[in-house]
Chains A and B, each alone.
Chain A
Amino acid sequence: EDQVTQSPEALRLQEGESSSLNCSYTVSGLRGLFWYRQDPGKGPEFLFTLYSAGEEKEKERLKATLTKKESFLHITAPKPEDSATYLCAGYNYGQNFVFGPGTRLSVLP
Chain B
Amino acid sequence: DGGITQSPKYLFRKEGQNVTLSCEQNLNHDAMYWYRQDPGQGLRLIYYSQIVNDFQKGDIAEGYSVSREKKESFPLTVTSAQKNPTAFYLCASSIPGGGNEQFFGPGTRLTVL
Residues of A within 8 A of B (CB): 4, 9, 31-32, 34, 36, 41-46, 49, 51, 87, 89, 91, 95-102
**Interface size on B (CB < 8 Å)?**
28
What residues of A have a CB within 8 angstroms of the CB of B92 in the complex?
Answer: 43
Q: How far is the CA of A95 from the CA of B96 in the complex (A)?
A: 9
Give bound CA distance, A89 to B102, whole Å. 11
Across the A-B interface, give the 5 residue pairs with the lowest CB-CB distance, nearest first: A32-B99, A43-B104, A99-B42, A91-B99, A99-B43
Contacting pair A45 B104 (CB below 8 A) = yes
Task: Indicate if the CB atoms of A101 and B99 lie closer than 8 Å.
Answer: no
24 contacts between A and B (CB under 8 A): A4-B42, A31-B98, A32-B99, A34-B101, A36-B104, A41-B107, A41-B109, A43-B4, A43-B90, A43-B104, A43-B105, A43-B106, A44-B90, A44-B104, A46-B102, A51-B99, A87-B42, A95-B50, A95-B96, A95-B97, A96-B58, A97-B33, A99-B35, A102-B42
Whether the pair A101, B41 counts as a contact (CB closer than 8 A) is: yes
Does B40 sit at the interface, judged by CB under 8 A? yes
* B88 partner residues in chain A, CB cutoff 8 A: 41
A42 near B106: Cβ-Cβ < 8 Å = yes
